[in-house]
């Protein structure tokens, strides 16, 4: 297992280097002397000034030297300075935005995978019911809904018509006017508390998947959820710093509900359909017939014999879906003005803040790579065949 | 065609009888295609989901053809109905009464008076009535879906948007299939270093979030519709499609007829283009459908964000509603957002449904017992 993980890790490092190279050369070969012109902000600048601008940006050097400088600077954590938020370095902006994206992204990912898997499992179990086509069509409908339009309809329904949730943004400035904390401070606290709770829950349900005792499995699963909920409640109500920040953290959480809901609903359909077809294939296997013939209860056959095998293609799809899910996150952030990586990518691209755009894109790439790595390892854990054969 | 001629000249030993058959190879292929099409249509027809998709695509194809008919028959006047430069000069009006300006900025009347600034003659006295032109205008007999804030017909924009979507989707799909089958077959046929390098590149392309990449490229450089189609085609053709098609081509490569072709002296390019690619084609058509779905959605997202440089598209219609501030007034100005948003959803869903219908033809395991 360790060898498998290390192999994957080395591959990821090489892929990341390739990704950075491709990104850089892509921006380099595209036509136009865009950088120098945008920097001067004037197409009619005198040639001497142009030369100076090119020199100061290091654009007069040979291609390979420029490329080397870029790579060296990248790994020293120097991504340049944002043009729009002038003296702020790109790394600082990204450091502030990255956790916000991660929280949105992870919350949605966990919710929709879980819900989609459950729904798909039950759908396959009741194959042939009258609503089957209806469900397939609505699943496809959810999957191919135009995201900005769907987000808009959700905002309109929940924020404009029902007035239940905030329209967009990350917090309500009126509430924060005389807050004793920085928004980021509160947010990071929220991030760590939620992350620890999620890890506890995930570990418990993973242990539940490994046991063979049905009662223990149930105890572990519900125990994990209860433990996470208790830790969450204890932090915000039991500790002094948690009590102070509670109101503000709640405000951030309140602004998060709608984006997470939109992302969940959009991605839910795909997972559901995939689980359904994978379950249907598994149900035709002989060992399912054997399990039934043994007289095992329906629930056991479904959950322990069929669903576990059916999970594998769904996890494989996650490998392919990481990029798609990140794309969905980028669009959702743009529609909800959620100040994360996607929003910064779009706003920096539109305002031609090139260092920030390249930095944000690189980090979105890193997110995708890490996502792949995690899913790969998870896949190795779930499917012993992968570990043993060690395919390329 | 070129290749067929080449193979004949390369192998002068082939007897004349075979030469005569090679002459009409396309007839044989056509007959084969027709037969397999008929059989596949039978399977496809059983699947109601795929049929539904086809019906929706047919509907949009008709919609896309409509403006040509309307302009040609004179039913639509280009000055009014052109999707980009058209303008309704005689919009519906609402009769209003001039009232005294109230200085409290929170009252409804004052807000309206402020909106009217510059749009009514100064000579009006308090108590006079006047007609206020409504733009965006709600649907009526002349504009079936109303007009946008610039006085252009929504229906016409919707139909032209369908055209743009078809153009983009089909171009992207063709690029995907050409690249995907070529790369996949080459990787499978040559193996070794060619395979390894092509597949590592494909791995990388799968991981890159496509929309984020398109935003970066489209935002920093002028990006037109066909550029977008080609980039999407390359991303999907070189990425996921190539990987899937390679595994299919590997299964074909070990079949006896490939060995036969090689023994008969077929060159690598001959075997790839005449034996491998035709056999992975059915699967690539499936991925073509999914590429169309992705392409339509990406285009709509980019135009919605105002990154794409294009004249008419569904995303652009929503972008206009957004920049003009009508985005959240869904109840009052639904025709500005809902038709465009629904169209993107419907057409991309239709291609996806057809793809699912084809899935049953390509993967016999999925068929009903």
Instruction: List, for residues B133-173, the tens digit of each pLDDT value.
Output: 777 888 888 888 888 888 888 999 999 999 999 999 999 99
pLDDT one-digit tens code per residue, A230-278: 888 888 887 877 777 788 888 888 888 889 888 888 888 888 888 888 8
CB A259 within 8 A of CB A333: yes
Q: Which residues does A109 contact at the CB level (< 8 Å), separation at least 6? A: A267, A325
Range of the domain at A257: 96-342
A37 interface with B at CB cutoff 8 Å: no
- In angstroms, what separates the C-alpha of B359 from chain A's closest C-alpha? 12
Per-position pLDDT tens, chain A of length 392: 778 788 888 888 888 888 888 888 777 765 555 555 555 556 666 777 777 777 776 777 777 888 888 888 888 888 777 777 777 888 888 888 888 888 888 888 888 888 888 888 888 887 766 667 777 777 777 877 888 899 888 888 888 888 888 877 777 777 777 777 777 788 888 888 888 888 888 888 778 777 777 788 788 888 888 888 888 888 888 787 777 778 888 888 888 888 988 888 888 888 888 888 888 888 888 888 888 888 888 888 888 788 888 888 887 777 777 788 888 888 888 888 888 888 888 888 887 777 788 888 888 888 888 888 888 787 777 777 666 554 44
Chain A residues whose CB is inside 8 A of the B307 CB are 346, 349-350
Any bridge partners for residue B96, and if so which? Answer: B130
**Predicted pLDDT of residue A80:** 78
- In angstroms, what separates the C-alpha of B48 from chain A's closest C-alpha? 8
Burial (CB < 10 A; 0-12, 13-18, 19+), residue B319, is: buried
CB-CB under 8 Å, A148 with B318: yes
CB-CB under 8 Å, B220 with A152: no
CA torsion sign, A184 to A190 to A191 to A193? positive
Q: What is the dihedral of CA B159, B164, B165, B168, to 10 degrees?
A: 170
Q: Please tell me whether residue A89 adopts helix, strand or coil conformation.
A: strand
Residue A337 covered by a domain: yes
CB A372 within 8 A of CB A12: yes
pLDDT one-digit tens code per residue, B296-350: 999 999 999 888 878 889 999 999 988 888 888 888 888 888 999 999 999 998 9
Residue of A nearest to B200 (CA): A15
Residue of B nearest to A281 (CA): B366
Looking at chain B, the whole-number percentage of residues with pLDDT higher than 90 is: 18
CB-CB under 8 Å, B217 with A358: no
pLDDT one-digit tens code per residue, A278-309: 888 888 888 888 888 888 888 888 887 888 88
CB-CB under 8 Å, B327 with A152: yes
Give the nearest partner residue to A327 out of B200, B209, B305, using CB atoms: B209
CB-CB under 8 Å, A326 with B341: no
Q: Of B285, B287, B284, B294, whose CA–CA distance to B348 is shortest?
A: B294
Residue A71 covered by a domain: no
- In angstroms, what separates the C-alpha of A361 from chain B's closest C-alpha? 7
Chain A residues whose CB is inside 8 A of the B292 CB are none
Residues 8-27 of A with CB under 8 A from B: 15, 18-19, 22, 26-27
Domains of chain B are 46-72+151-366 (1.10.3720.10), 93-133 (no CATH)
Measured distance CA(A390)–CA(B9) in Å, rounded: 47
Residue A153 covered by a domain: yes
Q: Which residues does A345 contact at the CB level (< 8 Å), separation at least 6? A: A330, A357, A360, A361, A364, B212, B215, B216
pLDDT tier at B3 (50, 70, 90 boundaries)? Answer: very low
**Would the pLDDT of B19 be above 60?**
no
**Predicted pLDDT of residue B118:** 54
CB-CB under 8 Å, B204 with A22: yes
Measured distance CA(A83)–CA(A90) in Å, rounded: 9
Chain A residues whose CB is inside 8 A of the B200 CB are 15, 18
pLDDT tier at B174 (50, 70, 90 boundaries)? Answer: very high
CB-CB under 8 Å, A26 with B341: no
Task: Give the tokens for residue B176.
Answer: 């995907």
Give the nearest partner residue to A349 out of B203, B219, B341, using CB atoms: B219
Substitution target in B211, B321, B339 with the highest count of A β-carbons within 10 Å is: B211
Q: What is the CA radius of gyration of chain A?
A: 25
- In angstroms, what separates the C-alpha of B286 from chain A's closest C-alpha? 16
A357 interface with B at CB cutoff 8 Å: yes
Measured distance CA(B77)–CA(B55) in Å, rounded: 30
Residue A24 covered by a domain: no
Give the nearest partner residue to A326 out of B52, B209, B318, using CB atoms: B209
Residue A130 covered by a domain: yes
**Predicted pLDDT of residue A301:** 83
Q: Of B229, B211, B130, whose CA–CA distance to B174 is shortest?
A: B229
pLDDT one-digit tens code per residue, B240-287: 888 888 888 888 888 888 889 889 888 888 888 888 888 888 788 888
Chain B residues whose CB is inside 8 A of the A146 CB are 297, 300, 341, 344-345, 348
CB-CB under 8 Å, B307 with A368: no
Task: Give the tokens for residue A87.
Answer: 């003296």
Residue A348 covered by a domain: no
Residue A26 covered by a domain: no
Lowest mean pLDDT among A356-365, B81-90, B92-101: B92-101
Substitution target in A143, A146, A321, A353 with the highest count of B β-carbons within 10 Å is: A146
Residues B167-185, mean pLDDT to the nearest whole number: 92
CB-CB under 8 Å, B306 with A144: no
Give the nearest partner residue to A330 out of B211, B297, B327, using CB atoms: B211
Q: How far from A247 is each of A190, A199, A352, B9, CA to CA, in Å?
A: 12, 24, 37, 83
Measured distance CA(B168)–CA(B311) in Å, rounded: 13
Residue of A nearest to B319 (CA): A148
Number of residue pairs across A and B with CB atoms under 8 Å? Answer: 144
Q: Give the mean pLDDT of chain B.
A: 81
Give the nearest partner residue to A361 out of B212, B318, B342, using CB atoms: B212
**Would the pLDDT of B106 be above 80?**
no
pLDDT tier at B58 (50, 70, 90 boundaries)? Answer: very high
Task: Give the tokens for residue A299.
Answer: 């629930």
Q: Structural domain tally of chain A?
A: 1
If you search the block for the tokens 């459908």, which residue do you land on? B289
Residue A69 covered by a domain: no
**What secondary structure does DSSP assign to A192-210, as a single string?**
HHHHHHHHHHHHHHHHHHH
Residues 372-391 of A with CB under 8 A from B: 372
Residue of A nearest to B53 (CA): A137
**Predicted pLDDT of residue A41:** 58
Task: Give the tokens for residue A63.
Answer: 């291609």
**Predicted pLDDT of residue A179:** 72
Cis peptide upstream of residue B136 (ω within 30 degrees of 0): yes
- In angstroms, what separates the C-alpha of A48 from chain B's closest C-alpha? 25
Q: Which residues of B254-265 are buried (b: 16+ CB within 10 A; e: fewer)?
A: eeeebeebeeee
Task: Give the tokens for residue A75.
Answer: 């790994």
- In angstroms, what separates the C-alpha of A12 from chain B's closest C-alpha? 10
Give the nearest partner residue to B220 out of A141, A161, A354, using CB atoms: A354
CB A194 within 8 A of CB A235: no
CB A254 within 8 A of CB A166: yes
**Would the pLDDT of B1 be above 50?**
no
């Amino acid at each position: 297992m360790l060898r498998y993980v290390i192999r994957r890790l080395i591959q990821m490092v090489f892929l990341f280097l390739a990704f950075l190279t491709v990104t850089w050369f892509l921006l380099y070969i595209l036509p136009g002397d865009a950088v120098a012109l945008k920097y001067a902000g004037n197409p009619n600048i005198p040639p001497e000034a142009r030369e100076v601008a090119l020199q100061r940006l290091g654009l007069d050097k040979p291609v390979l030297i420029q490329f080397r400088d870029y790579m060296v600077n990248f790994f020293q954590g120097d991504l340049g300075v944002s043009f729009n938020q002038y003296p702020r370095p790109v790394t600082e902006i990204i450091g502030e935005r990255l956790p916000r994206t991660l929280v949105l992204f992870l919350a949605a990912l966990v919710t929709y995978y879980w819900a989609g898997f459950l729904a798909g499992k039950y759908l396959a179990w009741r194959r042939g019911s009258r609503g089957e086509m209806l469900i397939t069509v609505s699943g496809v409908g959810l999957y191919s809904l135009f995201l900005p339009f769907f987000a808009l309809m959700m905002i309109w329904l929940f924020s404009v018509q029902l007035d239940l949730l905030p329209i967009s943004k990350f917090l309500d400035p009126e509430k924060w006017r005389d807050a004793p904390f920085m928004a980021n401070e509160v947010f990071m606290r929220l991030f760590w508390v939620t992350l620890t709770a999620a890890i506890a829950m995930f570990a418990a349900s993973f242990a539940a998947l490994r046991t063979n005792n049905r009662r223990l499995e149930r105890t572990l699963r519900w125990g994990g959820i209860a433990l996470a909920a208790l830790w969450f409640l204890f932090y915000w109500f039991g500790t002094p710093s948690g009590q102070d920040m509670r109101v503000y953290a709640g405000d951030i959480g309140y602004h998060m509900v709608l984006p997470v809901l939109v992302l969940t609903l959009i991605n839910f359909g795909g997972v559901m359909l995939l689980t359904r077809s994978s379950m249907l294939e598994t149900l035709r296997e002989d060992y399912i017939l054997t399990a039934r013939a043994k007289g095992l209860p329906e629930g056991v056959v479904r959950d322990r014999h069929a669903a576990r095998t059916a999970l594998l293609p769904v996890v494989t799809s996650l490998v392919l879906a990481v990029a798609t899910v990140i794309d969905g996150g980028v669009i959702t952030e743009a529609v909800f003005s959620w100040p994360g990586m996607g929003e910064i990518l779009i706003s920096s691209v539109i305002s031609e803040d090139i260092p920030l755009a390249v930095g944000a894109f690189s980090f979105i790439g890193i997110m995708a790579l890490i996502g792949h790595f995690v899913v790969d390892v998870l896949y190795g854990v779930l499917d012993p065949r992968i570990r043993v054969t060690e395919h390329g | 065609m070129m290749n067929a001629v080449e193979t004949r000249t390369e192998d002068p030993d082939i007897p004349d009888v075979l030469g005569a058959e090679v002459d009409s190879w396309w007839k044989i292929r056509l007959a084969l295609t027709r037969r397999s099409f008929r059989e596949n249509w039978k399977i496809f027809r059983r699947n109601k989901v795929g049929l539904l998709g086809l019906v929706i695509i047919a509907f949009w194809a008709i919609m896309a053809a409509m403006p040509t008919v309307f302009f040609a028959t004179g039913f639509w006047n280009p000055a009014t109905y052109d999707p980009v430069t058209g303008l309704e000069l005689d919009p519906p009006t609402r009769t209003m009464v001039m009232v005294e300006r109230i200085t409290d900025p929170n009252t409804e009347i004052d807000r309206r008076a402020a909106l009217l600034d510059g749009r009514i003659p100064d000579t009006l006295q308090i108590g006079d009535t006047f007609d206020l032109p409504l733009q965006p205008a709600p649907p009526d007999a002349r504009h079936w879906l109303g007009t946008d804030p610039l006085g252009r017909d929504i229906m016409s924009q919707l139909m032209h948007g369908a055209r743009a979507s078809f153009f983009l989707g089909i171009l992207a799909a063709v690029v995907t299939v050409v690249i995907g089958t070529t790369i996949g077959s080459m990787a499978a046929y040559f193996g070794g270093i060619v395979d390894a390098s092509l597949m590592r590149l494909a791995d990388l392309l799968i991981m890159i979030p496509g929309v984020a990449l398109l935003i970066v490229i489209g935002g920093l450089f002028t990006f037109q519709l066909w550029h977008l189609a080609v980039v999407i085609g390359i991303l999907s053709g070189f990425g996921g499609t190539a990987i899937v098609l390679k595994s299919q081509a590997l299964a074909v490569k070990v079949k006896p007829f490939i060995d036969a072709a090689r023994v008969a002296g077929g060159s690598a390019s001959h075997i790839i283009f005449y034996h491998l690619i035709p056999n992975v084609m059915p699967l690539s058509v499936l991925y073509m459908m999914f590429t169309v779905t992705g392409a339509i959605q990406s285009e709509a997202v980019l135009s919605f964000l105002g990154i794409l440089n294009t004249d008419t598209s569904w995303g652009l219609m929503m972008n206009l509603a957004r920049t003009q501030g009508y985005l959240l007034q869904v109840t009052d100005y639904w025709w500005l957002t809902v038709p465009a948003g629904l169209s993107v959803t419907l057409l991309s869903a239709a291609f996806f449904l057809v793809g699912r219908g084809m899935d049953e033809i390509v993967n016999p395991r999925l068929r009903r017992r």
